[in-house]
Amino acid sequence: MKNRINKKAILNYLGYQNQVLSDDFLAEMDEAIDTVLAAAKPNNIWKSMLRSELNLVLIGEDINAHLGNAEQVILMAATLGQEVDFILRRSQRLDMKQAVILDASASVIIETYLDQQEDFLRQEFLKQGKYLSTRFSPGYGDLPLSVQENFLKILDTNRKIGVTVLNNGLMSPMKSITCIMAILDEPISKVTDPCSICRLKGDCVLRRRGGYCGRFRQ
Amino acid sequence: MGNFTKNKFKNLLDKDFVILDGASGTEFQKRGLKPGEAPELLNFSRPDWVIDTHKAYLSSGSDIILTNTFGASYHKLKSSDLTPEQVIPQAIKLAKKAVAEYQADVKQQEPDSTELDDSLSENKKSQIEPLVAFDCGPLGALIEPNGSMSFEQAYQDFAGQINLAKESDADLIMFETMSDLYELKIALLAAKENSDLPIICSMSFEANGRTFSGTDIASYVTLAQSLGADVIGLNCSTGPKQLLPLIKEILQFSKAPVLLKPNAGLPDPQTGLYNLPIDEFVESMREAATLGVKFLGGCCGTNSEYIKALNDDISDLKFQRPEIKQDPMVCSSTKAVQIGTQPLFVGEQLNPTGKKILKQALSDKNYEAYQKMAILQEIAGADILDVNCGLPGIDEAAAMAEVVKKIQAVSRLPLQIDSNKPDVLEVGLRLANGRSIINSMNGKAESMAEVIPLAKKYGSMVIVLPLDEQGIPKTAEQRIVVLEKIIKQCEKEGLPKENLIADCLVLTAAAEPTGGIECLRTIRLVKEKLGILTIIGLSNISFGLPARRQLNQVFYAEALANGLDLAILNPEHEEIVATRAGHMALFGQDPNQTNYLAYVEEKGDIISGYQKTTKTSTAATETEKTATEAVVVPAPAEAQSLEQVIIKGLENEAAQLAKQALQTEMNPLDIIQDQIIPALDEVGRLYQEGITFLPQLLQSSKAAQSALNPIRKAIEAQAQTADSVHNELKSAKEIPASKPIIVLATVEGDIHDIGKNIVKTVLENYDYTIRDLGNDVPPARILEAVKAENVKLVGLSALMTSTLPAMEATIKLLNPEQPDCKIMVGGAVLTEDYAKSIGADYYCQNANSSVEVAKEVFRNET
């Protein structure tokens, strides 16, 4: 996975705006990536389901627009595991600089892991002549985080991959992602513009700087 | 009832193998349960399905059936209309009914079966009454620090369930599919303290040999065994074949009978169905039985056909299991440490004696200093951490509770609970996530009466001191006599001697010329005559003498040569680490000197100071500089000002320049005001303007921190001098007291701490006193902290949209009660407008904005 990790994305999480980077810093970033990869036990689970079975999850206009006319959807959850939480917590007691770099690296690594799984699924479904939409997660647009509980229950993530929902829809381990993809008969023509449905549009620091949080794949 | 049940369970143990049931979900789905539907509801909606399922397993040969209560926890049932008070009695009733109906059926058929061949009727006769186990799964909520459920709440929930099961006459309790060792520990305590039912415990391990929360087999078995689980095993996760290597490991460690209840292979990802054929399932289970697994059953994907086939297949096997011999172990949730196999370090630093920073932590109830020290001890090579919270005037038990929780959130090491008060010991043993050591007990009747019951209840190891009412014996022989007395008393009360560690008593050499030799002789005699483990508190030997570290090193080497197992010491002293590595290399404890070579590769030659690595590690910069480290700190290449090196983020240079400045007899406060603060202001400006970004800001913070450390020490020293001569030296005395206080917290429900911690790092450099309340902090707790010190500025952080209401609630509570306390808020999802709309006084867009706010607030104050 290491060569797929997008270092620019890690820098984005850290608020990077083309500042000069020292060799020391780049080495530190590499070390952080290695540390997270060593601690991570990436795991995922997915299920293809009838859209009509998922009334408790597919809430709001944005997800339904995203899914288009699909009848089948994929629910998926992925995590880096609890050890990553442990090293993040621990680093915050010793060195906040290292902590923020580890945290940003872990955020990008879980996305990268999910990208890999997504690609795999895309290939698998292509064999059956099916196409997948891009990923859409609870918390995007008007899809509330409160669906997380039902989402995780359907996938039995607690037992299968050790992911639990906390109060308020947060997940533990922290570096976990849930997402929804449509299974379509034809390749998708339009991709949801990630920023157009974001709550922070109009007030996004990253956008003002000409950046982007990287929540969707481009 | 208790004895009767125990007997029924004991009868079961007389069988060669005990067969449990298979999955209930699979059986329910066969009958029509829809995916996602809670099986517990069937206890009411389809009791016939539940009874049929139980009976299917009973007629397949199950000796123990599990009630349909896997998800019947208080937390999990919250989202349904049901409560454990309804579900648990009903489910037990159904299981008992199934047993009764099944037994009636068998009786009816008996006349026919007498005609069958001998072996089968023998089998029938030996079939003892099947037992009903109350099935208890995980609570469904995560316990601190991974989630927000407290130890106490989890205990209450388990205790509630256990009491319901007991009142409904369950025959035993089975905890299964556990993946958090802490949760299992709480469950076991709740079961032991609320019932005397036999307990089967079973965790779910991944094929990599760990649970989702990182527990390994050795830690699991160590903990479960120490708390008296009657059966220890594995269930769920993967198929039997994948679990065989893990079950072998359990068989190596567990003195209790072992259970295996695996899935029917791995599920097909697309359909979610398990498809291991029955014969393959049975083949692996037979292998497990041959290895010595006594309790056998199935989990997800198995049904009554699997169980029947299993039962038939092993009917010809005789149970056999080699006796196990293992050195005793202590453990945390992720690390087990075997004692007696090789010399171990018990880190001594988590003790407030002589440590101002820990005394401060205890009186402020802010235990971050303990956390930091624990991490440093672990990095330096400690195997176990001694934890002491003794400080006059504080609630030591309450402090121990918090300190243990905080330490295990950031350290993986097993703990040694250090106190002379039994209530403090108990809190520590109870809350420690693992099996701990008690430090300590002596030969006085009172001490033994207090400590032995604790050691038994928590299955702890105990350090025993050879002293009693007659005082400290001088000679080794006299100490052996006292130790023999202690061992005898322990064994009489059921505490086995392998749980004891003899403290061989290091007396100060300067005061007691024979102290050293008697200690060494004690170590040797204990090993030879008593055969128990040994420990010393090392540094006492050199008390009152100069250059103590080299004396400690000498004594440590001698003690190792006499067979010492554990030493309480500071592993940050590199010469001690080197001594141990050398001892093991020279005396056959390090085959081919592999570990020694690796040690030298990493640390170099500590005598000559030669070191391969040029980069000082985080650990090294945090610890006090040792002689070796001082060698590698490079001198600044060119003359730079303190201000410049902070802006550039050069830590070592900043520390050096600060020390130089102190030597010029500059007033320490002036160094802060004239050099460090302007540097930080410039760092802040560069960050605000986007010339630097977050890691660079934090690097400069680190540099400022390393400059501030010696300066703060100098200020403290000044204050002390001022005190001692009754000098009204205002600047030194008043400044620490008048440092403005800022309360920081991540709001209730949010466990994302990082944003708040960044703000804290930046503010601390400006010499504000930070009261960090941590994460997931209820509004009332924040109000309490603000009131307690009449705090004028609070910073609240929330990372998720779903925790913003908690932020609003906190502000709504604080504002009317403390109108002159300002509130600043920050977090990834906040906007300025939103901050205003919930009544915050300031919105902090980034890490540095809080500094501007603090300056403004406290400027207005004065």
Whether B692 and A159 lie within 8 Å, measured CB to CB: no
- Residue B122's pLDDT is 45
Contacts of B371 in chain A (CB under 8 A): 93
Q: What is the pLDDT of residues B453-473, one digit of tens each?
A: 999 999 999 999 999 999 999
- 3-state SS class at A15: coil
Q: How far apart are CA A147 and CA A145, in angstroms?
A: 5
Residue B13 banded pLDDT, cuts 50, 70, 90 = very high
DSSP E strand stretches across A15-103: 43-50, 72-79
Indicate the domain borders of chain B.
2-316, 504-602, 642-728, 739-861
Q: Which of A18-22, A36-40, B768-772 has the highest mean predicted lDDT (pLDDT)? A: A36-40
Residues in chain B with CB shorter than 8 Å from the CB of A85 are 146
CB-based contact B695 A100, cutoff 8 Å: yes
pLDDT greater than 80 at residue B88: yes
Q: Which of A46, A95, A168 lies nearest to residue B803, judging by beta carbons?
A: A168
Chain B hits for A46, CB-CB cut-off 8 Å, are 269
Fold of B642-728: 1.10.1240
- Residue A40's alpha-carbon distances to A2, A166, B429, in angstroms, are 12, 21, 30
Which of B754, B758, B762, B837 to mutate against chain A (most A CBs within 10 Å)? B754
A96·B236 Cβ contact <8 A: no
**What is d(CA B401, CA B335) in angstroms, rounded to the nearest whole number?**
21
Does A94 contact B690 at a Cβ distance shorter than 8 Å? Answer: no
DSSP B542-581: GTTSSSHHHHHHHHHHHHHHTT--EEEE-TTSHHHHHHHH
Q: Are strands A171-172 and A164-165 parallel, antiparallel or unpaired?
A: antiparallel
Q: Which of A21, A93, A130 to mutate to test the interface with B (most CBs of B within 10 A)?
A: A93
Residue range B2-316 forms a domain whose CATH class is alpha beta
Q: B180 phi and psi, to 5 degrees?
A: -110, 115
The whole-number average pLDDT for the span A34-39 is: 97
Integer Cα distance of B163 and A7 in angstroms: 54
Residue B435 DSSP SS3: strand
Asked if A92 lies within 8 A of B757 by C-beta distance, the reply is yes
Q: With H, G, I as helix, E, B as strand and everything else as coil, classify residue B294.
A: coil
Contact at CB, B698 and A97, closer than 8 angstroms: yes
Mean pLDDT taken over chain B:
90
Cβ pairs A/B, distance under 8 A: 143
Mean pLDDT of B74-102: 95
- Asked if residue B330 lies in contact with residue B337, where contact means CB atoms within 8 angstroms, the answer is yes
Q: What is the pLDDT of residue B147?
A: 83
Tell me the CA end-to-end span of chain A in Å, nearest whole number.
19
% of chain B residues with pLDDT over 70: 91
Q: What is the pLDDT of residue B627?
A: 37
Residue B734 has pLDDT above 50, yes or no: no
Instruction: Name which of B203, B725, B631 is nearest A162 in CA terms.
Output: B203
Which of B812, B745, B753 is closest to B785 using CA atoms? B745
Question: What is the three-class DSSP state of B469?
Answer: coil
Confidence band for A162, pLDDT divided at 50, 70 and 90: very high
Query: Looking at CA atoms only, how far is residue A178 from chain B in angstroms?
Result: 15
Asked if the Cβ–Cβ distance from A19 to B696 is below 8 Å, we say: yes
- Which residues of A fall within a CB distance of 8 Å from B691? 19
Homologous superfamily assigned to B504-602? Dihydropteroate synthase-like (3.20.20.20)
pLDDT tens readout for residues B618-650 = 443 433 333 333 344 444 456 689 999 999 999
B749 to A97: CB separation less than 8 angstroms, yes or no:
no
**Residue of B375, B696, B749 with shortest CB distance to A94:** B375
Residue of A nearest to B697 (CA): A97
pLDDT of residue A189: 66
Cα B453–chain centre separation: 23
- Can you tell me the distance from the alpha carbon of A206 to that of B585, in angstroms, rounded to the nearest whole number? 56
Which residues in chain B have Cβ-Cβ distances shorter than 8 Å to A88? 754
User: Over the range B115-133, which residues count as b (16 or more CB within 10 Å of their CB) and which as e?
Assistant: eeeeeeeeeeeeeeebbbb
Task: Write the DSSP assignment of B183-210 as a string of letters.
Answer: HHHHHHHHHHHH----EEEEE---TTSB
Q: Is the pLDDT of residue B190 over 60?
A: yes
Mutate to test the interface with A, among B79, B146, B370 (most CBs of A within 10 A): B146
Q: Convert the pLDDT of each residue in B94-136 to its tens digit.
A: 999 999 999 999 988 876 545 555 444 444 444 578 999 999 9
CB contact under 8 A, A169 and B800: yes
Half-sphere exposure in the Cβ direction for B567 (13 Å, CA): 29
Res B729: pLDDT: 43
Nearest-Å Rg of the Cα atoms of chain A is: 18
CATH superfamily of B739-861: Cobalamin-binding domain (3.40.50.280)
Where does residue B445 rank: exposed (0-12), middle (13-18), buried (19+ CB within 10 A)? exposed
List, for residues B534-566, the tens digit of each pLDDT value.
999 999 999 999 999 999 999 999 999 999 999
**pLDDT of B340:** 94
Domain chopping of chain A, boundaries: 2-188
Burial of A138 (0-12, 13-18, 19+ CB in 10 A): buried
Average pLDDT over residues B81-92: 97
Q: Give the amino acid at B61.
A: G
Q: What is the Rg, in whole angstroms, of the alpha carbon atoms belonging to chain B?
A: 31
pLDDT of residue B819 exceeding 60: yes
Which residues in chain A have Cβ-Cβ distances shorter than 8 Å to B689? none
CATH code reported for the domain at A2-188: 3.40.109.40
Helices (H), B633-788: 642-648, 651-663, 668-671, 677-688, 694-724, 730-738, 754-765, 779-788
Q: How much is the average pLDDT of A95-118?
A: 95
Is the Cβ–Cβ distance between B573 and B626 less than 8 Å? yes
Q: How far is B249 from chain A (nearest CA, A)?
A: 21
Which has the closest alpha carbon to B306: B110, B92, B30?
B30
Contacts of A142 in chain B (CB under 8 A): none
**What is the per-residue pLDDT for B630?**
39
**Best CA proximity match to A160, nearest among A86, A87, A76, A51:** A76
Q: In angstroms, rounded to a whole number, what is the distance separating the alpha carbons of residues B100 and B129?
A: 10
Contact A159 B801 (CB under 8 A): no
Among A25, A90, A161, beta carbon nearest to B375: A90
| Interchain CB distance below 8 Å, A15 and B831 | no
CB B460 within 8 A of CB B438: yes
- Chain B CA closest to residue A152: B36
Cβ–Cβ of B753/A97 closer than 8 Å? no
Residues B383-420 pLDDT 10s: 999 999 999 999 999 999 999 999 999 999 999 999 99
3-state secondary structure of B764: helix
B701/A92 touch (CB, cutoff 8 Å), yes or no: no
CA dihedral sign, ordered A153, A156, A158, A162: negative
Nearest to A48 among B204, B270, B846 (CB): B270
Fold identical between B2-316 and B504-602?
yes
